[in-house]
Chain A
């Protein structure tokens, strides 16, 4: 709820015994793409179609999670005849418009004691469900999943992220309101793409002795200009000049822990992987992944006359035929 909303309290309404601050309107019918007169079957069919499209566990749409939240919230209210009737009584407003439930609404549909301040329309209707099942029922707090985008360097060293969450909390009567929670979470060494960290009890508050929800932090690694990641292993392209590959050499190779010297054996071929054991990402408990340097033979784009002469001399004396197997295969 916006900070200015509390100023919209109408003295006439507060005299009636409740705090009629405004809420933001959400058009649940528009979200579901159905007519206001839609039958329960039509609403269910629309929900199934939208869930298939936007459910974050099955969807590849970029904003699936946000979209699905809206759809699930709308369906939660419209599928329940009591909640739908209560919602319809709120009247029609523009989405996002500040509005006030009509006088007597909360007495008709609730017990008339709660405040609309800091209240989200979705929370209001989900509380309806809670009370329908008995106010004393133990309800676990909601779990949250948040994705933390971190760099490879941060995954290597471990890092901290600041999380800002608007989570529902409950007052002493069990009515929800949103509270802004901000805290820092430590991402210890051991992170890699898709790894999850569980922060126990950091989700929504439990109700009537139910356990507090958890917060799950999903790790997403930002692309790195040099290293590619698979699990805790890293892959690095290692360009070599033709003579380095033929004669062998020692090259300086970057790693997340600083540069190291890598011995390239003579006769190294393109595509070969040279393994630097333990130079990958650290694993959660012990050990590290490896770093693989993938050899690429690169050729200078411009060569001087002297170099060309040397190549010609080499071509003249070399018996090497890189396509020898073509002939052998053709004879078969």
Chain B
């Protein structure tokens, strides 16, 4: 059985706007609204050609699923994604704090 090699979705692995669209299933206008609303940030928002860290693909794919499954308009989608990212950040902080508590889990 051959062994498949993958790539970590990580900040050193970068995607162009069109690659991010193709891999997530979002259209370019949809992705632009998500960027405008701060739900997905390119590495340099002022750059002529947006480049995204591959970690953003996780968020873009989530946005694509939510749009499809909840039939959300672009603004509603951007709001939902931004709030879910906030929840994810808070869960990460919670995990970090728990890891620092002696005897914690």
Asked if B6 and A228 sit within 8 Å, CB to CB, the answer is: no
Q: Mark B1-34, 1 if CB is under 8 A from A, else 0.
A: 1111111111010000000001101000000000
Asked if B22 and A197 sit within 8 Å, CB to CB, the answer is: no
Q: Which residue of B lies closest to A285 (CB)?
A: B12
Which residues of B lie under 8 Å from residue A140 when comparing CB positions?
A: 22, 25
Which residues of chain A in 194-233 are interfacial with respect to chain B, using CB atoms and an 8 Å cutoff? Answer: 194-200, 202, 211, 214-217, 223, 228-231, 233
Asked if A184 and B1 sit within 8 Å, CB to CB, the answer is: yes
Which residues of A lie under 8 Å from residue B7 when comparing CB positions?
A: 197-198, 200
Q: A230 to B94, alpha carbons, bound, how many Å?
A: 10
- Select B4's contact among A58, A143, A184, A195, beta carbons within 8 Å: A184
A-B pairs with beta carbons under 8 A, tally: 104
Quick check: is B58 within 8 A (CB to CB) of the other chain? yes
Quick check: is B49 within 8 A (CB to CB) of the other chain? no
Quick check: is B48 within 8 A (CB to CB) of the other chain? no
Asked if B99 and A183 sit within 8 Å, CB to CB, the answer is: no
Asked if B1 and A197 sit within 8 Å, CB to CB, the answer is: no
Quick check: is A190 within 8 A (CB to CB) of the other chain? yes
Asked if A285 and B2 sit within 8 Å, CB to CB, the answer is: no
Which residues of chain A in 61-98 are interfacial with respect to chain B, using CB atoms and an 8 Å cutoff? Answer: 68, 72
Which residues of A lie under 8 Å from residue B103 when comparing CB positions?
A: 237, 296
Which residues of A lie under 8 Å from residue B92 when comparing CB positions?
A: 194, 231
Which residues of chain B in 45-94 are interfacial with respect to chain A, using CB atoms and an 8 Å cutoff? Answer: 54, 57-58, 61-62, 65-66, 69-70, 84, 92
Number of B residues, CB within 8 Å of A = 34
Chain A interface size, under 10 / 10 to 19 / 20 to 34 / 35 or more: 35 or more
Asked if B70 and A55 sit within 8 Å, CB to CB, the answer is: yes
Quick check: is A42 within 8 A (CB to CB) of the other chain? no
Instruction: Tell me how far the C-beta of A225 lies from the nearest C-beta in chain B, rounded to whole angstroms.
Output: 10
Asked if B8 and A284 sit within 8 Å, CB to CB, the answer is: yes
Q: Which residue of A lies closest to B100 (CB)?
A: A235
Quick check: is A131 within 8 A (CB to CB) of the other chain? no
Quick check: is A6 within 8 A (CB to CB) of the other chain? no
Asked if A197 and B84 sit within 8 Å, CB to CB, the answer is: no
Asked if A186 and B4 sit within 8 Å, CB to CB, the answer is: yes
Which residues of A lie under 8 Å from residue B95 when comparing CB positions?
A: 193, 229-230
- Select A184's contact among B2, B102, B105, beta carbons within 8 Å: B2
Asked if B69 and A72 sit within 8 Å, CB to CB, the answer is: yes
Quick check: is B96 within 8 A (CB to CB) of the other chain? yes
Which residues of B lie under 8 Å from residue A185 when comparing CB positions?
A: 3-6
Asked if B1 and A183 sit within 8 Å, CB to CB, the answer is: yes
Asked if B62 and A284 sit within 8 Å, CB to CB, the answer is: no
Which residues of A lie under 8 Å from residue B1 when comparing CB positions?
A: 162, 182-184
Given contacts A185-B4, A202-B4, A235-B99, 14 further A-B contacts (CB under 8 A): A55-B69, A57-B84, A140-B22, A162-B1, A184-B1, A185-B5, A190-B8, A198-B8, A230-B99, A237-B102, A271-B102, A273-B100, A284-B10, A296-B103
Report, nearest first, the 10 A-B pairs whose CB atoms are least far apart. A197-B6, A228-B99, A230-B96, A230-B99, A284-B8, A199-B6, A196-B9, A235-B99, A184-B3, A284-B10
